Structure 1
Amino acid sequence: MNWEQLLSTKRSRGASNKNKYTKSTDLRSEFEKDYHRIIGSASFRRLQDKTQVFPLDKSDFIRTRLTHSLEVSSLAKSLGQNIGENILVYRKDSGFTPGMKEDICSILQCAGLIHDIGNPPFGHFGETAIREWFERNLPVLSYHGQPVDKVLTPQMRQDFYNFEGNAQALRLVTKLHFLVDEQGMNLTYALLNTIVKYPVSSVGIDKQSGNIKDKKMGYYFADEDIFEEIAAQTGTNGLRHPLTFILEAADDIAYKTADIEDAFIKGFITYYSLLEELKELQEQYAGGARSAFRPAEKLEDLYRRGKEKHVNDPEEYAIKNWIVRVQGFLISCATYGFTSHYEAIMEGTYAYDLFHQTFAEKLMDLLGDMAFRKVFTSETIYRMEVAEAAMIDFLMDKFVTAVIHYDDPGEKLSSIDLRMVSFISSNYKNAYHYHAEGKPDIERLYLRLLLVTDYICGMTDSYAKRLYQELKAII
């Protein structure tokens, strides 16, 4: 892979590499134009009412998908600056230019904004609820007398059984913003490829391969053509785009540190419980690793500083400032992870995240494990998730039943099904009709099922809850 091709400014409609440096009254780069398209979109605005960890939280401090995405965007750009400068200073790539450094920073800034844009309401549990709904219901739903799971092709079926917000993000920005035309936001191919964390289809998932790119699916059967065009234009051809490693590292830094901070504010984690686990981690360091960032000592130092400053809550002061220090340390480690494996990443043979075998690896593992033990498996979160599952299941039941025979020649919808279909955004229905035109019946059925997930994924937490209450006649 080479940067000239990886940084392709091609779009499905208009703009191409040959025009990259053409004089214009608009002095923005193509990637800066992407940024303005994203922040002006309704899908991006909806992230302000989508869950990061705590659904429908009343606090104005707890993170939403919007604030998380802004943090990822900022961290990704910082990583891009560090890594780009390292490539230039140490001459790791003779073809890499200062202009390319600016471009990767702009791409990563944009990628951070949209990396979660396809996620359904209620966070990652919303994805789980949708997957499990399909596993239970596709075998019992009927289409012209046959079970739907038997009618669909293996890849179509696996798309639903492995439903994934990452794949939905690519679909949303390339097809579902049916405003100007069928090209969605019409973003650059370099940006689109950066957000594809897993460049495999649902039948290409291989969790045992040892390669991070094979863990989940990155695109639906419905979007295979656009994915292959993007991969061909950028020269990745089934490999991870190098910038994807950087985006993933920024995402990991953002959510693993933020989850600890939010958990502290919500009372799931205390200063002392965090300190105790960090001390245990420090004891595992040996030899040269002892010279690395020492997280427990840093937390204690900050607590003492808070006491000396006579702040109202030295524990809160310590944790919030510790998060900032840790993020700086993790940025350094991710920079090292990319630059020390530069050749393997550019060849597409690097199989791990950027924290693999760095000083940060055990700390990242601890933060994730602590959030899982203290927050995600708590009774409070479980109660929320049971309620969320009930809402997702009800909406899936109603809308999938309604669309099974929608736009199906010779079939008449019931009065209730007609009304359910009318609730679906005309934007999504227009996209469905455009892409279903001339397709075989089975593919049209598949696209109708995607129409439901498209609509539900576009819902905010509050809208999903309100629609559920209205349809259940809960006053």
Structure 2
Amino acid sequence: MNWEQLLSLKRFGDTNKRLRKEQDETRLGFEVDYDRVIFSSEFRSLQDKTQVIPLSKIDFVHTRLTHSLEVSVVARTLGRKVGAKLLEKYPHLNTVHGYQANDFGAIVAAAALAHDIGNPPFGHSGEKAIGEFFKNGSGTHFKSFLTAKEYQDLCDFEGNANGFKILTESRQGREGGLRLSYATLGAFMKYPKESLPKKPTTHIADKKYGFFQSEKEVFLDVAKELGLISTGKDDSVSFSRHPLAYLVEAADDICYTIIDFEDGINLGLIQEEYALEYLIKLVKTNINTKKYHNLSNTQDRVSYLRALAINTLINEAVEVFLDNEASILKNDFPHALLDKCSYEAQINDIIALSVKNIYQSQEVIDKEIVGYEVINKLLHVYTKTVQNKADGNLTNFDKLILRSLPETVNLNHDDLYNNLMSICNYISKLSDGKIKETYLKLMGQNI
């Protein structure tokens, strides 16, 4: 791979090449990507979607929206630091093409801002609930009507692939979705492969999948433009990561490791003395002892250590990326950046404590139980309507269900797979509050 291709400003529908040196410096194409994500309705719905801990009366608990904003800030710094060094290594990127260090920051920030845009309500349990409906629930009967890859898309419903769908899916008046630059779409794609085969290698890019069969051709167009390396065997579609996807992943890893931990401390799920000990191990060489001891409350002490920890891990991720940049360009670096940093042990200790005390807390478990019930009910109703429509056997109830759906939900595809994907995509876009309201209507309890 080469950086000239990887930094492509191309957008869906372009017939002429966009050149960096011809860009308006007051509003660069990569910065437009950020704007388009932040003003999208799908992004705004993240304000009412759970990050980890259910939405609480306590105002410092993170939602998907605040998490995404924080990840984008960390990502921007990562991109700028890496960009400055890459321009020193490849000066022609600046002198010939006009790229600046901030371009790298803008690409990574926009991709990071969108990184959770495809996640369903109720966090990762929402993904599992959708998959469970098709794998073991009443949706199993659809298997005989679908190809193996189409069915796998539903059984392992993946927020990353759904995010790519949201960013790129065409509909009337919105051809090409948000029409982001291909560089940003590449950086967004952490898992540039289809749903089958599952985990064909131990490479981090093969851990999950990144696009549904419905977006296969769009993905191939992006991969070709960016010059990603094809890694698929036989008839499978799989490519190398865009190098900047490593930075998006690192920004997310840094934020959920440190900030979810901070939420757990502030909620009293993790005892302060343990928490501070864990964080101090990350920042002990940078801590200002006098300043730290002058902080009078838990929240301020944790906030100070969190800021130092994030800065420490940013510098670590940048160093690992630059040390391995040549291997990354050849698709020979199969790890997440933080898995190879000098603080790997400390990070793993923090994550282990978070899993025990936060992710497996009773409040989180209760949220996931509710999520399974709500999503299963909605899928049962909507997919039955899809099936009856395909069979020409719409009931009066089905007709009411169809009228209740937004005009943006297209159930007029010629094939069952795309109509089922439309339903799953619609449910995934609902906020936690909206999906509960919809559930109550279907249960006849909102009268």
Deviation of 1:233 after TM superposition, in Å, equals 0.3
The whole-number CA distance in structure 1 between the counterparts of 2:172 and 2:316 is 42
Task: Output aligned runs, 1:16-27, within 5 Å.
Answer: 16-22=16-22, 27=26
Evaluate the alpha carbon distance shift between residue 277 and residue 69 of structure 1 in structure 2; reply closer, same or farther with a 3 A threshold.
closer
Equivalent position of 1:404 in the other structure: 387
Equivalent position of 1:374 in the other structure: 357
CA contact (8 A) 2:55 2:61 kept: no
Letter in 1 for 2:48: D
2:421 is the counterpart of 1:450: yes
Task: Output aligned runs, 1:43-442, within 5 Å.
Answer: 43-89=42-88, 91=89, 93-97=90-94, 99-137=99-137, 140-141=140-141, 148-175=142-169, 178=171, 180-206=173-199, 209-237=201-229, 238-275=239-276, 293-294=283-284, 298=287, 305=291, 307-308=293-294, 311=296, 313=297, 315-406=298-389, 408=390, 411-429=392-410, 433=412, 436=413, 439=414
The whole-number CA distance in structure 1 between the counterparts of 2:340 and 2:8 is 32
CA contact (8 A) 1:337 1:356 kept: no
Letter in 2 for 1:158: Q
Deviation of 1:115 after TM superposition, in Å, equals 0.7
CA contact (8 A) 1:126 1:392 kept: yes
Deviation of 1:469 after TM superposition, in Å, equals 1.5
The whole-number CA distance in structure 1 between the counterparts of 2:105 and 2:395 is 52
Letter in 1 for 2:381: K
Pick the structure with greater CA Rg.
1
Evaluate the alpha carbon distance shift between residue 106 and residue 16 of structure 1 in structure 2; reply closer, same or farther with a 3 A threshold.
farther
Deviation of 1:293 after TM superposition, in Å, equals 4.2
Q: Which runs of 5+ in 2 are unaligned?
A: 230-238
Question: SS in structure 2 opposite 1:427?
Answer: coil
Equivalent position of 2:236 in the other structure: none
Deviation of 1:37 after TM superposition, in Å, equals 1.6
Deviation of 1:362 after TM superposition, in Å, equals 1.5
How many residues in Structure 1 have an aligned counterpart in Structure 2? 434
Deviation of 1:172 after TM superposition, in Å, equals 0.6
CA contact (8 A) 1:239 1:348 kept: yes
CA contact (8 A) 1:162 1:217 kept: no
The whole-number CA distance in structure 1 between the counterparts of 2:18 and 2:62 is 41
CA contact (8 A) 2:386 2:420 kept: yes
Letter in 2 for 1:251: D
Residues 204-247 of structure 1: CA deviation (Å, up to 9, x unaligned): 3216x220000111101111000000000000141100000000
CA contact (8 A) 1:138 1:149 kept: no
Q: Which runs of 5+ in 1 are unaligned?
A: 142-147, 283-291
Deviation of 1:5 after TM superposition, in Å, equals 0.6
Percent identity of the aligned residues? 32
Evaluate the alpha carbon distance shift between residue 275 and residue 113 of structure 1 in structure 2; reply closer, same or farther with a 3 A threshold.
closer
CA contact (8 A) 1:9 1:16 kept: no
Letter in 1 for 2:444: A
Cα root mean square deviation, aligned? 2.2
The whole-number CA distance in structure 2 between the counterparts of 1:383 and 1:31 is 40
Equivalent position of 1:288 in the other structure: none
CA contact (8 A) 1:159 1:221 kept: yes
Evaluate the alpha carbon distance shift between residue 16 and residue 192 of structure 1 in structure 2; reply closer, same or farther with a 3 A threshold.
farther
Query: Structure 1 length as normaliser, TM-score?
Result: 0.86
The whole-number CA distance in structure 2 between the counterparts of 1:15 and 1:30 is 16
Residues 46-103 of structure 1: CA deviation (Å, up to 9, x unaligned): 11111111223222211111111111111001001111122234x2x35443724222
The whole-number CA distance in structure 1 between the counterparts of 2:335 and 2:328 is 10
The whole-number CA distance in structure 1 between the counterparts of 2:337 and 2:294 is 37
Question: SS in structure 1 opposite 2:191?
Answer: coil
Deviation of 1:405 after TM superposition, in Å, equals 3.2
The whole-number CA distance in structure 2 between the counterparts of 1:354 and 1:95 is 27
Deviation of 1:18 after TM superposition, in Å, equals 4.2
The whole-number CA distance in structure 1 between the counterparts of 2:155 and 2:135 is 6
The whole-number CA distance in structure 2 between the counterparts of 1:23 and 1:55 is 43
Deviation of 1:333 after TM superposition, in Å, equals 0.5
Question: SS in structure 1 opposite 2:388?
Answer: coil
The whole-number CA distance in structure 2 between the counterparts of 1:194 and 1:276 is 35
The whole-number CA distance in structure 2 between the counterparts of 1:173 and 1:325 is 34
CA contact (8 A) 1:404 1:448 kept: no
Letter in 1 for 2:264: A
Equivalent position of 2:436 in the other structure: 465
Evaluate the alpha carbon distance shift between residue 18 and residue 182 of structure 1 in structure 2; reply closer, same or farther with a 3 A threshold.
closer
The whole-number CA distance in structure 2 between the counterparts of 1:75 and 1:179 is 35
Evaluate the alpha carbon distance shift between residue 326 and residue 27 of structure 1 in structure 2; reply closer, same or farther with a 3 A threshold.
closer
Query: Structure 2 length as normaliser, TM-score?
Result: 0.91
